[in-house]
Structure 1
Amino acid sequence: MTGTVIRNTGSFYTVATDDGCEVQAKIKGNFRLKGIRTTNPVAVGDRVELDGDAGAMPFITAIMPRKNYIIRRASNLSKEAHVIAANVDEAFLVATLYHPVTSTTFIDRFLATAEAYAVPATLVINKVDLCHYDAEREEYLEAVSYLYRSIGYRVMHTSTLTGEGVDALREAMAGKTSLFSGNSGVGKSSLINCLIPGMELRTAEISTTHDTGMHTTTFSEMFALPGGGAIIDTPGVKGF
């Protein structure tokens, strides 16, 4: 039996099988992907083979060759990396210039990593409503957008408060398996709630003390988009 991993909770994996079912699966303790030292041998987006006795939870026995994948540094120092997602058509990095501030260093590192692992990337600057009607902020928004567009990246502006850019983002993701990544608090879950009506993913207020986001997504998961395609939502990344 074959399928695609759509959820990884750390202990178990949810696999959407090719015959239209969703099953919970696990891996054996010694299972490792040859040639890649990572904390997670199986990632959301992986195409896998399953085997198991009738009535028992199946085991993931093999990972099919990956088209690509994208990693970040692992928090477990004994390993080199953590695979965020595999077999991605495009990575959408959600960033904010205010409340909270996404550093250009973080953006640069993400884009460089995507480039290194053959994942096309788009920069989505969210909460642009915080920039409008303020000349200095508007100027900074345009400067950052010009910077990344000038080196060949698509830059999109969105606001879940006003709806600006959401339709354009939905169109850009249509028919693709898209990765959503970014710092906590930049509005990934709110954007997904706009893109997929009825999702109602949990969101949280920004910390007033440090102006940083608080984690609401705790594990990676793939959601189907209306009309085709899918979003892989990932926990907020502090560093890259």
Structure 2
Amino acid sequence: MKALVYRSTGSWYTVKDEQGNLHNARMKGVFKMDDITSTNPIAVGDEVLIEVENAGETTAIITKILPRRNHINRQSPRVKHHQHIIAANVDQSLLIATLKDPRTSQGFIDRFLVVCEMYHVPAVVVFNKTDIYRQKEEKKLEALSEMYRSLSYGVFAISVEENSGLEALHHILKNKTTLISGHSGVGKSTFVNQLLPGQAIKTQDVSGWSGKGMHTTTFATMYDLPDDGRIIDTPGIRELALAGLEKEELSHYFPEMRERLNDCRYNNCMHTNEPGCAIKQAVIDQEIYEDRYVSYVNILDSIGHKGYT
């Protein structure tokens, strides 16, 4: 029978069949999907076929992974040259960021947006903890919001702590499967708790000695929302290494660059030192944000190296 993967722990999976019954399932043999060298061949959000081992039991065997509409990858944090599938069959991704306690860098946000562009998944950036922002953070929030909205990304400013700005987010989550991601400590689990009253997702304060959040979610998990739709809660990401990306492809995943690529003098322009580069000219003319160009160069330099923003 057909089922949907709600949770993965590496070797066992929680799946829900079309009748709404949950099963603990394991793979039958070894699966290889689309020639992806992955540390996890089955991901949360995958549609699969299962066989229930014994009538009345809650265990099952996964016999087939059905074709994916899409998936989002990252480079495996443990096995170089392998990919880790964060989630499959998602309608949109939502990155929770904070400008204080801890600070999410623009470089990290731009990396996340590049990943979403690579896999054709619409992205939304949500700035949380606005209740603790001072003038410096408020000014930065205004600038980042203007920049990302000009690139047609959704941008929201919220305070989960004060229940502020959440109504608009509830609206965009309805009837969709949404991947929720972000650094540890940005309030992701608190936000998920707010969406799922009674689920009590574990939360943990930011570690004071480092200013970085502590990991609270070990495995990606999907939840049904009370008013239709699903969310996929992911482990807090400290670093985001891009998987399967060539340097020559990077500019295609910056929307403001993509629309100008044909104007460069050379077809293989990397937009760094070449003459007649339309991208560099657009930066000079302030048609492309300089900070976005800096992110592009930093990501370009990091491709193939283990060094992340």
Q: Name the TM tier (shorter chain).
A: over 0.9
Task: Output aligned runs, 1:198-237, within 5 Å.
Answer: 198-237=198-237
Match of 1:164 in 2: 164
2-structure distance, mates of 1:156, 1:23 = 36
Q: CA deviation at 1:167?
A: 1.4
Partner SS state of residue 27, structure 2: coil
Match of 2:23 in 1: 23
Question: Which residue of 62, 65, 77 maps to 1:75?
Answer: 77
Corresponding pairs, count: 238
Partner letter of residue 118 of structure 1?
H
1:52-90 superposed Cα distances (whole Å, 9 cap, x missing partner): 532573221111111111111102325421000000011
Work out whether residues 124 and 157 of structure 1, in 8 Å CA contact, stay in contact via their aligned partners in 2: yes
Q: Structure 1 length normalisation: TM-score? A: 0.95
Match of 1:13 in 2: 13
Structure 1 unmatched ranges of 5 or more: none
1:162-192 superposed Cα distances (whole Å, 9 cap, x missing partner): 1111111111101111100111111110001
Work out whether residues 39 and 79 of structure 1, in 8 Å CA contact, stay in contact via their aligned partners in 2: no
Work out whether residues 166 and 195 of structure 1, in 8 Å CA contact, stay in contact via their aligned partners in 2: no
Structure 2 unmatched ranges of 5 or more: 241-309
Cα RMSD for the two superposed structures: 1.3
Task: Output aligned runs, 1:8-157, within 5 Å.
Answer: 8-54=8-54, 57-131=59-133, 134-157=134-157
Structure scoring higher RCO (CA < 8 A, sep ≥ 6) equals: 1
Point out the structure with the larger strand share. Answer: 1
Q: Structure 2 length normalisation: TM-score? A: 0.74
Q: CA deviation at 1:160?
A: 1.2
Which stretch of the first structure deviates more once superposed, 6-15 or 25-34? 25-34
Partner SS state of residue 26, structure 1: strand
Match of 1:177 in 2: 177
2-structure distance, mates of 1:216, 1:143 = 31
1:21-54 superposed Cα distances (whole Å, 9 cap, x missing partner): 0000001352222321111000000000012532
Structure 1: 4+ residue segments shifted above 6 A: none
